[in-house]
Amino acid sequence: MAQMTMIQAITHALDLELARDERVLVFGEDVGNNGGVFRATEGLQKKYGADRVFDTPLAESGIIGLANGLAIQGFRPVPEIQFFGFVFEAFDQIAGQLARTRYRSGGRYTAPVTIRSPFGGGVHTPEMHADSLEGLFVQTPGIKVVIPSNPYEAKGLLLAAIRDPDPVIFLEHMKLYRSFRQEVPEDDYTIPLGVANVVREGKDATVIAYGAMVSVAQKAAEQWSKEKGFEAEVIDLRTISPIDIDTIVKSIQKTNRAIVVQEAQRSAGAAAEIVAQINEQAIYHLEAPVLRATPPDTVYPFGMIEDEWLPTPQYVVDTLNKVMTL
Partner 1 sequence: MSLNLEAKPVPFLQILDIEGNVVDAQQMPQLSDNELRDLMRKMVFTRVWDQRAVKLARQGRLGFYAPVAGQEASMIGSEAATKKEDFLLPGYRDIPQLVWHGLPLHQAFLYSRGHQSGGKIPDDVNVLMPQIIIGAQIVEAAGVGLAFKLKGEKRVAVTYTGDGGTSQGDFYEGMNFAGAFNAPVVFVVQNNQFAISVPVHLQTAAQTLAQKAIAAGIHGVQVDGMDVLAVYAATKEAAERARNGEGPTLIEAVTFRYGPHTMSGDDPTRYRTKDLESEWEKKDPLVRFRRFLEGKGLWSEKDEETVIDEAKTAIQEALAKADAEPKMTITGLIDSMFESLPADLKRQRDEFSAEEGQ
Q: Which residues are catalytic?
A: 129
Q: Which of 1, 73, 296, 325 binds partner 1 (CB under 8 A)?
A: 73
Question: Which three-class secondary structure string do you get for 19-67?
Answer: HHCCCEEEEECCCCCCCCCCCCCCCHHHHHCCCCEEECCCCHHHHHHHH
Q: Which of 81, 83, 87 is nearest to 125 (CA)?
A: 83
CA distance 112 to 23: 10
> Given candidates 5, 68, 150, 215, which one binds partner 1 under the rule CB under 8 A?
68
Closest C-alpha to 51, from 75, 17, 84 = 75
Residue 314, strand partner residues: none
Name residues contacting partner 1, limited to 139-198 (CB under 8 A): 141-142, 144, 165-166, 194
Provide the residue type at 322 as one letter: K
Q: Which of 53, 66, 115, 323 binds partner 1 (CB under 8 A)?
A: 66
Judged by CB under 8 A, the residue of 5, 82, 97, 294 near partner 1 is: 97
According to the binding rule CB under 8 A, does residue 294 interact with partner 1? no
Asked if 68 and 59 count as a contact pair (C-beta separation under 8 A), the reply is: no
262 binding partner 1? (CB under 8 A):
no
Stretch that binds partner 1, among 80-88, 122-130, 243-251, 307-315 (CB under 8 A): 243-251
Tell me which of 20, 47, 92, 203 binds partner 1, using CB under 8 A: 92
Q: Which is nearer to partner 1, 46 or 104 (CB)?
A: 104
**What is the torsion angle, in degrees rounded to the nearest 10, for the CA atoms of residue 172, residue 138, residue 244 and residue 177?**
10
Compute the least distance from the CB of residue 251 to partner 1, in Å: 16
Under the criterion CB under 8 A, does residue 244 sit at the interface with partner 1?
A: yes
Exposed (0-12), middle (13-18) or buried (19+): which is 77, by Cβ within 10 Å? buried
Q: Near partner 1 by CB under 8 A, which window of 34-42, 95-103, 199-207, 250-258?
A: 95-103
Q: For residue 70, state whether it binds partner 1 (rule: CB under 8 A).
A: yes
Tell me how many degrees the CA angle 292-294-297 measures, rounded to the nearest 5.
110
Q: Which range binds partner 1 by CB under 8 A, 179-187, 239-247, 302-310, 316-324?
A: 239-247
Among 102, 155, 257, 292, binds partner 1 (CB under 8 A): 102
**Is residue 91 within the footprint of partner 1 (CB under 8 A)?**
no
Which of 6, 16, 40, 71 is close enough to bind partner 1 by CB under 8 A? 71
What DSSP designation does 267 have?
T
- Is residue 55 packed enough to be buried (19+ CB in 10 Å), middle (13-18) or exposed (0-12)? middle
Q: Which residues pair with 169 in a beta bridge?
A: 115, 145
Among 6, 31, 67, 171, binds partner 1 (CB under 8 A): 67
Least distance in Å: CB of 164 to partner 1?
A: 8
- Show the DSSP H helices in the chain as ranges: 6-20, 44-48, 60-72, 91, 101-104, 134-138, 151-163, 213-228, 245-255, 271-282, 306-309, 313-325
Closer to partner 1 by CB, 143 or 323: give it.
143
Question: x/- binding map, residues 109-128, to partner 1, per CB under 8 A?
Answer: xx------------------
Which of residues 108 and 187 has its CB atom nearest to partner 1 in the complex?
A: 108
Which residues share a beta bridge with 293? 261
Q: Which of 93, 215, 262, 265 binds partner 1 (CB under 8 A)?
A: 93
Total number of residues that touch partner 1 (CB under 8 A) = 44
Strands 144-146 and 168-173: parallel
Residues lying near partner 1 in the complex (CB under 8 A) are found at: 25, 51, 56-57, 59, 61-62, 64-75, 92-93, 96-97, 102-110, 141-142, 144, 165-166, 194, 242-246, 277
